[in-house]
Amino acid sequence: MAKFGNFYQNKTQEDEIVGKEASSNPNIGISILMGVSATIMILGFLGCCGALTENRFSLFVFFVSLFVLLIMQVTAGILSLAFKSQIDFIFRESMSKNVKLLESTDESAKHFQEILIAYQETYKCCGLVNGAIDWGSNFAENHKSCNCLNEADDCVNYGGRSVFRQTCISFVKQTIKDNLNMVIGLAFGMAMIEV
SS3 annotation, 62-131: HHHHHHHHHHHHHHHHHHHHHHHHHHHHHHHHHHHHHHHHHHCCCHHHHHHHHHHHHHHHHHCCCCCCCC
Q: What's the pLDDT at 23?
A: 46
Confidence band of 6 (pLDDT split at 50, 70, 90): very low
Average pLDDT of the chain?
A: 77
- Give the residue with greater pLDDT, 80 vs 102: 102
Q: pTM, whole model, 2 decimals?
A: 0.58
Mean pLDDT of 3-32: 53
Q: Read off the pLDDT of residues 23-37 as tens digits, 9 standing for 90 and up.
A: 445 566 677 667 777
Q: What's the pLDDT at 19?
A: 53
Confidence band of 12 (pLDDT split at 50, 70, 90): low
